[in-house]
């Protein structure tokens, strides 16, 4: 994939939706808003509190609330009581129901969303929800988990990728998963278009007792990557590259289709 990141878009001012899963007050979303403002008209809809690990959850059992907030100069912004996916649904179907949305960007997430993390990530699920509506979407993540992370190394690359999509669109899909290593900008080697690594979490639970004598459990674990190929997002990040994984929402195992169709499955 030949991405020429220095081309200027030749189009009318686009409309860009910015969202995240770390909450509307997170430092990462402010960085993404500052970039988006340079490229088009911006509307922000983000959770009113951190929603990490929510995946593609939606709110069904209680009403959703939207409140307009004055947090970002010159930008229309709303905080939402629901999940990241709820934010995108409300933006697309309520706030922007009569307007064409040209791009959705989610993040910049505090921490990695490479490999299997895409399944758990509220950041990527928000972008995926917009992509389901036909909107080109990018989920951005930075490999620094600190709430006070310095995102300055991300800005130039995020702007370049957003400009590219606004000019060229996305071929064969509408979703990119972009992870940025925790390095100074001049030490990042470039952008590597790659596949999702075959890696997973080995989960553990810490058991403890609360002051009332009741047991509780806290999820922890370790990340295991046994995929040593050099065309994966984990390899790219470990070797100083930004990883760009073209992603989709079809979870069909196509390799198993023919085999299963030839089986005689008996039922009684």
Query: Where is the binding site, in residues?
Result: 21-22, 52, 109
Q: SS3 of 142, please?
A: strand
Positive or negative torsion for Cα 40, 237, 110, 195: positive
The tokens 């709820």 sit on which residue? Answer: 86
The tokens 């990042």 sit on which residue? Answer: 188
Binding residues for a divalent metal cation: 21-22, 52, 109
Count Cβ atoms below 10 Å from residue 195 Cβ, excluding itself: 17
d(CA 70, CA 79): 10
Q: SS3 of 84, please?
A: helix
Alpha helices (H) in the chain, listed in sequence order: 27-37, 84-90, 117-120, 122-132, 152-168, 233-238, 254-261
């Amino acid at each position: 994939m030949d991405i020429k990141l220095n081309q200027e878009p030749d189009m009318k001012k686009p409309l860009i939706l910015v969202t995240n899963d770390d909450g509307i007050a997170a430092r990462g979303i402010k960085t993404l808003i500052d970039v988006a403002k340079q490229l088009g008209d911006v509307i922000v809809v983000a959770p009113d509190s951190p929603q990490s690990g929510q995946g593609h959850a939606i709110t069904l059992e209680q009403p959703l609330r939207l409140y307009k907030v004055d947090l970002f100069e010159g930008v229309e912004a709303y905080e939402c009581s629901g999940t990241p996916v709820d934010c995108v649904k409300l933006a697309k179907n309520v706030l922007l129901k009569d307007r064409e949305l040209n791009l959705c960007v989610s993040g910049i997430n505090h921490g990695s969303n490479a490999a299997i993390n895409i399944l758990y990530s509220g950041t990527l699920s928000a972008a995926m929800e917009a992509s389901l509506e036909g909107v080109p979407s990018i989920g951005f993540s930075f490999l620094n988990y600190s709430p006070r992370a310095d995102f300055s190394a991300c800005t130039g690359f995020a702007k370049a990728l957003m400009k590219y999509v606004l000019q060229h669109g996305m071929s064969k899909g509408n979703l990119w998963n972009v992870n940025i290593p925790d390095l100074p900008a001049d030490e990042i080697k470039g952008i590597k278009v790659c596949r999702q690594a075959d890696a997973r979490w080995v989960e553990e639970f810490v058991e403890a007792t609360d002051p009332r004598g009741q047991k509780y459990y806290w999820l922890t674990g370790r990340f295991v990557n046994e995929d040593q190929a050099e065309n994966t997002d984990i390899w790219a990040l470990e070797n100083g590259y930004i990883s760009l994984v073209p992603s989709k929402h079809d979870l069909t195992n196509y390799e198993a289709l023919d085999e299963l169709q030839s089986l005689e499955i008996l039922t009684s």
